[in-house]
Structure 1
């Protein structure tokens, strides 16, 4: 098994993370004949967040044919928006198809990276104390890998099961239970239908209401699957059509645009039509621009929230008791099981890694509260360290896999330059990084993400660290431009 394979003392490339970014990166390294690499993965296999997220109803909000690699099209997706198990199987199949299993070292977590300027190599230390030396390090840990649990007084004293959506325990039975669901965003609305059917009572604790649009989901017919598999070019045309439709949604994320105002109007209309009770309707009506927080897709959310055994609480949580939750207004809500749908640690990037670069500088200190990178993939002063799905490479309107593929291609070219050219160091110039990010933040200030709403897209001081500021296609063009002058090589 890969997890039992020896860890080499020296390797050309250390790739951290075996999720979709790690698989894409492994594929592009092998395409360029760069075979001397290992993939260090803290869990027991490929899949990343799709391996970790096993909660009921887990799925993707991007169409299946678009949420897949351009170099590994799948003609037999079961439905337009695939669920978790099918997505995980797809990524595992890709890893096997491209021979990445022999590169995987599963069940080991990288804890620190230190750059040795004398050797021009990164020294990596793992959680079990072992070490390896790499010419290049590529982080593919993603933005949504470390679960976030808020500090709530009394949480550790709760007597029943406490489940986090990112660490779900399928052995816990919810039938006949009083369930308290803390959180009301993407993962919450996916698991709500199934949990509400199992639980005797379900109380949903909401901090901020969400804008919700319909999800055009359905199963693919056998005729459609046949066409994808047998009509030359049809699946790729279908995929590009889906990509262009999603690109057309970006104007709705520009502050003050006609598309943004129209999205607000249709969202309010949906709530007004879907919720009968005026008090519940008022609680579910957002007061911020659509897209400032992630817009959610659901066809049954409003129906579920009006079920007799479902209740919405917006008072806030004062503390958790051994057998329930006390609200800020003093009400005691009984609970047998707590579900934390509270998302991930998003704005820190590499939160579990201690990274020390040239001149002994710590990446966490360099970043401070607002991580940044050149084109989302490199940080000045940290030679031959590359990030996938790094700062400002997330999207609010299209498929992240498109973005990650472009980054993997870009990084693979840089790795080829390093390995084939025998470079001791390759680092982005500080002035190039500063210029890039100054321009980026100026453009981001014109988007709805700069609005006054709490979201995981930005830090506490208001800097948008997660999202790219325009069309996905424009990001691809940015990475394609010749930027040799922005790099220093030794």
Structure 2
């Protein structure tokens, strides 16, 4: 009998899982989506300038190339359109229950099945539970005194309030990560003044973007090999970043030199700016960012970069550690996501009612980021230690979806619930953490790390090594007696 499967989330991860399962003939699927449309982070992030920092020919499914990308680095609307098209073309939409949030799930030892609790108060019982909520779905806010005391409008970049008119306003941007470097150049010409509060400067390198013309589209359509070459080229470039961080210090030094030249050249118009925005940590420790317009925006007369520590948020604005009060009309939080909490706030319990938060009390861990001891028939997409410091997460998601399909295929053949052997997962985690301990990502504070320094997000090697290693082997698992 074919297993019944529930998938949480309909972003790239959820769609990859559903399509891989359907290709294997597993059609007893339900996908729970709390929103009213597919898309995940590409549905939620609608801030001005929202775009991907991985070229679209590589940031897309290998089985579904898109010859009509409008840009090499596509903007949010084009990526969302692509995701919608995937859901339609691969017959996934009929499996989705929109407007349905999952609040928790419990494994039942007697039946060997999962009971999934929904925000409506209903429950659904399935054989296999797949979490595809990702690592970048929950906006994070720093712990700053008085954060809720500001009298004016304030919002996170991932929850952009398009009803707030920024024209002529005094605006504070807190944070200088991947989102901020995209929206700051978009709002800078519009606002009266812009104060960018920078805690840690990013390394920035040129963004080799281009608009794909009608001729490009025709060539990609008539000669699909050309799009394959474009994909392969960008796979090589992004994998090269991973090579630099993991294996080749001279290559990392060369990338740093390129970044320094680029950043110095783009800040010449404002004396002293380069000294403020040049990073003080090892290159690669945080994700490299691609931009040609962020630094020129910072160099404009109506922009100030403030590197003083924020002491408090006040009703009037932002007070820094030097005692200065920065009065503003609007605060925009560009402070990223709660990346190390994974399935939170859902409450998940495994065998014997064992809570997932207890299993992960010292940090999230999973076998190839996919399966956790004592949690049978639970598979995670984009789970612990499967983020990439240089490449495309979709490349990883495709490998994970194939693993999931093999896993479910074995379940269908044996009829038994499976849990990863604790000693197998423990040995794997020990190996991965050993690799990470000496890695560049251990050399600074970033969203890759927990407060205690454990790195729970990143894969420490190359993407191709993950794809080759993360293959389902029944010997790694044991049946759960029911």
Distance 1:269 1:235 in 2: 31
Distance 1:203 1:320 in 2: 14
Deviations 1:219-277 (A, max 9, x none): 01222211110014222232122212222222221387111222223322333333234
How far apart are 1:148 and its partner, in Å? 0.5
Task: Identify which range, 267-276 or 176-185, moves more after superposition.
Answer: 267-276
Are residue 391 (structure 1) and residue 384 (structure 2) matched?
yes
Report what 1:328 is aligned to. 321
Report what 2:348 is aligned to. 355
State whether residues 255 and 446 of structure 1, in contact with CA within 8 Å, keep that contact through their aligned partners in structure 2.
Answer: no
Residue of structure 2 aligned with 1:243, choices 222, 235, 258: 235
State whether residues 78 and 219 of structure 1, in contact with CA within 8 Å, keep that contact through their aligned partners in structure 2.
Answer: yes
- Measured on the aligned residues, the alpha-carbon RMSD in Å equals 1.5
Matches within 5 A, 1:181-200: 181-200=173-192
Residue of structure 2 aligned with 1:406, choices 383, 386, 399: 399
Are residue 270 (structure 1) and residue 244 (structure 2) matched?
no
How far apart are 1:447 and its partner, in Å? 2.0
- What SS does the corresponding residue of 1:137 show, helix, strand or coil? strand
Q: Which runs of 5+ in 2 are unaligned?
A: none
For the structure 1 residues 198 and 303, does the alpha-carbon distance in structure 2 shift closer, same or farther, using more than 3 Å as the test? same
Distance 1:308 1:248 in 2: 37
Report what 1:37 is aligned to. 29
Report what 1:373 is aligned to. 366
Distance 2:15 2:248 in 1: 39
Deviations 1:87-106 (A, max 9, x none): 00110111011111111111
Deviations 1:377-396 (A, max 9, x none): 00011000000000011101
For the structure 1 residues 255 and 279, does the alpha-carbon distance in structure 2 shift closer, same or farther, using more than 3 Å as the test? farther
Distance 1:89 1:109 in 2: 23
Residue of structure 1 aligned with 2:73, choices 53, 77, 81: 81
Are residue 466 (structure 1) and residue 457 (structure 2) matched?
yes
Alignment length (residue pairs): 478
Distance 2:127 2:278 in 1: 52
Report what 1:104 is aligned to. 96
Report what 2:479 is aligned to. 489
- What SS does the corresponding residue of 1:81 show, helix, strand or coil? coil
State whether residues 255 and 448 of structure 1, in contact with CA within 8 Å, keep that contact through their aligned partners in structure 2.
Answer: no
State whether residues 205 and 263 of structure 2, in contact with CA within 8 Å, keep that contact through their aligned partners in structure 1.
Answer: no
Deviations 1:168-223 (A, max 9, x none): 12122110111010111100000011111110000000101110001000101222
Output the TM-score relative to the length of structure 2.
0.96
- What SS does the corresponding residue of 1:73 show, helix, strand or coil? coil
Report what 1:5 is aligned to. none
State whether residues 264 and 289 of structure 1, in contact with CA within 8 Å, keep that contact through their aligned partners in structure 2.
Answer: no
Distance 1:72 1:99 in 2: 14
